[in-house]
Structure 1
Amino acid sequence: MSLPLEIGKMSATLWEVELIAGDSAFQQGQHLTNTFTLLVLLSGEGILERGSASCPMRQDTVYICPPESTFGISAGGQEVLSVAQIRFGFFQVSNPSRTKMHAVLAEGILPDSSSIKVEPAGRLHALCRSMHEQFCSAEPLRWWRAQALFQELLVEVLSAASNRAQDDTHQAMERSKAYMEAHFADDLTIDRLAGIAGLSPKYFVDLFKKRYGVSVLDHLTQIRMSKAKQLMLCSERLLRDVAHEVGYRDEFYFSRKFKKEVGMSPSAFIKKRQRKVAVYGSTSLIGYLMPLEVIPYAAPLHAKWTRYYNDLFGADIPIHLDAYRQNHNRSANLDKLAAASPDLIICSPGLDGWEQERLAAIAPVFELPSEREGWQRQLLAVAELLEEPVQAQRWIASFERKLATVRDKIGKQAQENSVLTLRLQEDQLTVHCNRGMSDVLYSALGFQSPYPAAELPFNLPMTLEQLDTCGADHVLLLVWQESDTLRAWKQMQETPQWLSLKAVRENRLHLIASEPWREYSPIALERMLDDACQLLSGNRP
């Protein structure tokens, strides 16, 4: 039984203060944080991404990222970017004698707002700089001083949150944007939206375009078209009713607007999407539908874990299943799928028996053939199911043409060079070669492997000494995007042993992303070809 949170019986412990810095090209992709994290902009301009939302970072502001959330930072200007990243945890007394404490999530202690402005100007900057200096010292008393400074910062944040009288400009813009999303069917004007933000119409229009990269009216159109797609696919409403429900009084004007924005008429869109195909188990299944020009009715999507598909089809897929920690949320996903009433479910191979039974009770189920069959056989099987064999053959032919082009660009380098694929998870470096990596690098492009005498290892531990002596001409490294691994990665890069590696000194060690290199699907392999061409053709600066 958990105890109620009492702030008077709680303490907070600083785990780490790190300065993240980079030039105008700096970009840190979204990764998972396992602890409470505060982010503070110290210099330059930065863009912060949290889940599916992004915003410019501002001076004198603390940005809050709770445990089990994702965030990423990129430079937003020409100046050098510097951001303080502060990781910490909350603890509470757990027995009457105050002799034991336990970690708590502290829901309700930190403000609900995702950003807090701290006054006076410069106070936050000074606290973070001093805290970092004390924390990095080897003297224990200075480390204690860092803890004291952190407590001071936390009090400042909580006080600023409780005493804040009004929203700043950013929050005013977010308020107006949220109003658009909630009242898109109303007769919204620039004057009305600017009034909600408390800004002049001209300043509101200019600031909206600068902040969100799209005009106010274009954003409103995007919202309306996204809602219209969902209504057309999730209900039997007449086109006239759909038009009215998303803010258009004239259904003919709505049809012209829809065709301009989507590229096809509403009736053509409904006909193409009439069969409600759902995918369950892995987002990679979308990579088998894309070559057939089929957009699923339901699929697992997430702004970080499935960013490529989320950015492409987030607005076009009506039912979003949970793609984060799918193994923890299978029952919820199955409930959502049952409520969606799809016509067909395509699932990953190897599901548990109880999942297969639940799926079969919802709709006819097609299990993707095993990865051992290869992606072409898998794609043709899905194409036969959806009566799209011609489109599948057309896509395979296009893939073969791209492969020939990439081979031509790489030239003799493939025959003369070996490639080693590695993964860093926490502080463990392993040789990591999955089916997609093997198919693209070794089977399709013909690169050599440092392990020719045996099957390619999947998780073979490797030390830096072994990496330096294995003889690989190129090394592709996949760094797990979560806090502990990124911290270990930063420390590894600063060691003399890492800096002395031949592959590092000769710029032959290349970072690769989880998307697409961990996925096995036709689309993922096509994207891997593009990456391989850029990294290994010899034309990189």
Structure 2
Amino acid sequence: MDQISDMRFEDRSISIPTDEMAAKLWGVDVITAGDTQLFGRQLTNSYAIVALLSGGGTLERDGRTCRLRPDTVYPCMPETTFGITPEEGDSAIAVVRFGLYRTDSRFAGETYAAEAGAVTALFLNRDTAIEPHGRVADLCRAMRDGMGSGDALLRWKAQIGLYELLYETMAASGRQRTAGTGEALERARRYMEEHCGEPLNIERLAGIAELSPKYFVDLFKKTYGRSALDFLTHIRMAKAKRLMLRSDRRLKDIAHEVGYEDEFYFSRKFKKESGLSPTAFRKRRERKIALYGSSSLLGYMLPLHIIPHAAPLHPKWSEDYYNLLGADIPFHLDGYRQNYRKSENLDRLAESRPHLIVTAPGLEIWEKERLDAIAEHIEMPEEPAGWRQGLLLLAERLGETAEAERWIGEYERRTAELKARAESSLQREPVLFVRVLKGRLYAYCNQGIEDVVYGDLAVIRPEGLPARGTFNEPLSLEKLERLGTGRVLVLVCQESETLDAWKRLSASPEWLSLSAVRNRKLQLIGSNPWREHSPVAAEKIRDEAIALLAGNCP
């Protein structure tokens, strides 16, 4: 049986079957600044919804006063008091009064008042924002006009308007409740990551999430696919791996830093989690693995917990990797514009005396000949193979298949959880990517965007562009207007000629008249991570896409 709501009170669930709920609209009052008789506190014997139609005003309930916001429903329960104060000017506030009843399907025609507790669950006892803009005001005005009409058919239509308003309220309340518990869990998850070295238990984590311990345990496992304590163990072991690979600190000190007083217990947990003892894991540092051709290769090494002996790095073109790993990589190759200085980098690579070299695809013959003279090398597959296949192939050659499978599994779990929470926003409208280069526009899709945005997150593609795969098609402003019917994300190449052209274009009347610009649906994105194709970049693209398109940062 369909349920209107399922809200927990002290671990009990109160629900209302939708096919047993009936509503009756009693009337709609519209209060303006010119009215006086409806001002002040009043007792309501019926259910009521307060909504701002225009201007501004305040609502007082239960001794608390709040400023009314547009597109928001404010519920008031029977036998409670509330007061309304419109602001001066053209302010108008609607008060929709109605009754709620339950019908017994076993006995035709028998109805009775809905239980107070069930109705509290129905509204989730909270104010609820409803989309799209103007929907609440339109419904309230239509109900008022219908109820005041001498036409019985229009009065009956007003009753339908009440059902529509209740439906919108319940649906939006459910979405907000899900987002609220999701944020609570995210708060606990972030706390685990930032304080994993401290003593943590379920009671403390549940307190941070402001949920009961039992509800927290059940909801965390349902959301993340593993228990909170298992998740904490995963965080602690990941940090321990980073510490072991980057320093010569004693195992006892590392165990203490990640939250374990007993280093032997830590070793057992580490082996169970990673499949290797800490000593065996630490021997990885003895392998001198070098990277050549692109700093994006670091995005394949990090999931395997391997810090390379040599790699291309640059403080601008690979800023994140430079800041994260620069001090841990002994030999820096020049990462300017992704291996711009090839001969110098090959000389530096030979100087590092690596055991194995991992290279980007598409090398020239002379580069491969130089590499053959330095050490054995592995060439990564072309991008269309996808980052998952590339990671698994590399991991197999390095004997790290289990580590790669663990990382991919965690990515899949996290992606599924984020997608479920934001699916309605992600699939609301098409998303067009535009690249700006030297004063020209291109409809754009690289392999990372294809794999993550249109693939993993199932974001809608604009009509009129290839159904799948990468492309870089010239784009006029007229075609941008036709294709950019939803969100438009713009990637501006960060070099002087393009930046000057972009400054002129973005200030032009033609650009400012675009629908996406006028409706504030156009946003800029950066080269990092949107131009990179790697597991780490895929993770960042996923998180940024969720934040940009769904309005929440995980």
Compute the TM-score of the two structures, normalised by the length of structure 1.
Answer: 0.50
- Pick the structure with greater CA Rg: 2
Task: Determine which structure has greater relative contact order: mean sequence separation of CA pairs < 8 Å that are 6+ residues apart, divided by chain length.
Answer: 1
